[in-house]
């Protein structure tokens, strides 16, 4: 039996756990640790959702296309989380109608899409949200001027949309209510493991602060390995690729219809979606090799996305190219590999340090993942670090935490890059 971690009275300088990064995964872990009854400090160098978590496609979905890669567990888990969020965060996560047009030249034929939607419905346990249909021809004219030349079929199914930045804030607010502590504008500098605890230094308000903790969760997204370089002893790390994805917002509104189309150039799946009275289009995938702070929307990606939009919505060709009112980019963290990012698994990977404590891992790093799976990821993290956490009396199950809209207007922030 591993030795029990001794409980310590929380002080201003000691926390049971410390989380680095205030993206969706960091706030989710802070929520789950606080719900378990432990003290937790979250450090965010900038502001909540300043990284990848403001630059997603804003979809709370299983990921229909992941079925092509046989990622059934990922899709099943994400759809289970979608159902939970529709129940627990109805102001923040809403079901929407998605349309998949199939043309003569579409690479995925209608029967394949039909089979995919059947599997998607099964992964959603055949809940009402999993219903789909073939859209009758007489309804095509209502689809925002969608190109009908060469159109063979249109499928309609349901998936959900959120505002990633507001969702992140809402999860953090629930963590704060459970007793978590948040420091924004607080950059983690380094951590040193000695005498069964970390001494952590961070910079806030131009001053260096020091705290101690028994457990650290590295939820720094694309900065995960950069952060890991500042630990002594040096932790194990996963060799990763950063895959940059760009979105654009064009000043040409859609009705409440979401489109899932194939890029005519390379067959990649691209979403065209209503977004605060405008249209959000994304995403692209390009390997990024610089510093994570320098990720920004690429001009070539903006052109690629505009080309997809104008191909499927030719009315936008009648006047000049629609104005791009906003462009932004974020990066996925994927295990390093030679094959195309599109084909690589989107499973979240947890890396931990077995050697630090006899009780259990005192450092756990989160690699990759999905916005949709934040709660499930946090539960896995807590299960991993649990042996190293002091005993506590659980306050709530994360399944039962209701998320309130943070009550602030969001769009359109001036941010253009992650």
Ligand X SMILES: Cc1cc2nc3c(=O)[nH]c(=O)nc-3n(C[C@H](O)[C@H](O)[C@H](O)COP(=O)(O)OP(=O)(O)OC[C@H]3O[C@@H](n4cnc5c(N)ncnc54)[C@H](O)[C@@H]3O)c2cc1C
Binding residues for ligand X (CB under 6 A): 20-26, 43-46, 50-53, 55-59, 187-188, 219-223, 227, 245, 283, 330-332, 366, 369-372
* Helix, strand, coil in percent for the chain, rounding step 5: 30, 30, 40
Nearer to ligand X, 154 or 280 (CB): 280
- Cα(257)–Cα(97) distance, integer angstroms: 6
Q: How far is the CB of 23 from ligand X (least distance, A)?
A: 2
Give the alpha-carbon dihedral of 327, 333, 335, 338, to 10 degrees: 10
Q: How far is the CB of 375 from ligand X (least distance, A)?
A: 12
Residue number of the CB atom closest to ligand X: 23
Q: What is the DSSP string of 359-395?
A: SS-SEEEEE---STTHHHHHHHHHHHHGGGSPP----
Nearer to ligand X, 212 or 359 (CB): 212
Nearer to ligand X, 214 or 245 (CB): 245
Q: How far is the CB of 276 from ligand X (least distance, A)?
A: 16
Nearer to ligand X, 197 or 332 (CB): 332
- Cα(335)–Cα(161) distance, integer angstroms: 27
Nearer to ligand X, 221 or 390 (CB): 221
Q: How far is the CB of 367 from ligand X (least distance, A)?
A: 8
Nearer to ligand X, 144 or 159 (CB): 159
Give residues with Cβ within 8 angstroms of 73, minimum separation 6: 347
Is residue 254 within 8 Å of residue 261, measured between CB atoms? no
Q: How far is the CB of 219 from ligand X (least distance, A)?
A: 5
Q: How far is the CB of 7 from ligand X (least distance, A)?
A: 27
Is residue 17 within 8 Å of residue 33, measured between CB atoms? yes
Give residues with Cβ within 8 angstroms of 266, minimum separation 6: none
């Amino acid at each position: 039996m591993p030795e029990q971690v001794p409980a310590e009275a929380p002080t201003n300088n000691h926390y049971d756990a410390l989380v680095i990064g205030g993206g969706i995964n960091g706030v989710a872990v802070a929520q789950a640790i606080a719900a378990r009854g432990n003290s937790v400090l979250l450090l965010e160098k900038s502001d909540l959702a300043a990284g990848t978590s403001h630059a997603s496609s804003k979809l709370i979905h299983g990921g229909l296309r992941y079925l092509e890669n046989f990622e059934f567990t990922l899709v099943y888990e994400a759809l289970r989380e979608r159902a939970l969020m529709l129940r627990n965060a109805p102001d923040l996560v809403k079901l929407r109608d998605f349309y998949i047009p199939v043309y003569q030249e579409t690479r995925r034929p209608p029967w394949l899409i039909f089979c995919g939607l059947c599997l998607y419905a099964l992964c959603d346990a055949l809940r009402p949200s999993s219903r789909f249909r073939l859209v009758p021809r007489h309804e095509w004219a209502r689809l925002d001027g969608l190109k009908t030349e060469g159109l063979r079929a249109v499928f309609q199914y349901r998936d959900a949309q959120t505002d990633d930045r507001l969702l992140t804030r809402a999860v953090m607010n629930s963590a704060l209510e459970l007793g978590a502590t948040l420091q924004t504008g607080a950059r983690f500098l380094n951590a040193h493991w000695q005498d069964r605890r970390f001494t952590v230094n961070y910079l806030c308000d131009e001053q260096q602060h020091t705290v101690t903790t028994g457990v650290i969760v590295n939820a720094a997204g694309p900065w995960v390995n950069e952060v890991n370089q500042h630990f002594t002893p040096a932790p194990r790390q996963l060799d990763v690729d950063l895959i940059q994805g760009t979105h654009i917002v064009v000043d040409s509104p859609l009705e409440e219809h979401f489109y899932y189309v194939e890029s005519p150039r390379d067959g990649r799946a691209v979403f065209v979606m209503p977004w605060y009275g405008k249209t959000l289009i994304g995403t692209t995938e390009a390997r990024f090799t610089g510093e994570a702070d320098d990720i920004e929307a690429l001009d070539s990606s903006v052109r690629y996305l505009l080309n997809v939009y104008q191909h499927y919505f030719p009315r936008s060709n009648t006047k000049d190219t629609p104005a791009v009112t906003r462009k932004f980019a974020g990066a996925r963290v994927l295990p390093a590999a030679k094959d195309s990012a599109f084909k690589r698994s989107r499973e979240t990977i947890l890396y931990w340090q077995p050697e630090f404590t006899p009780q259990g891992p005192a450092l756990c790093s989160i690699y990759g993942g999905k916005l949709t799976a934040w709660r499930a990821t946090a539960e896995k993290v807590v299960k991993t670090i649990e042996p190293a956490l002091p005993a506590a009396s659980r306050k709530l199950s994360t399944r039962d935490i209701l998320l309130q809209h943070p009550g602030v207007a969001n769009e359109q922030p001036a941010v253009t890059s992650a």
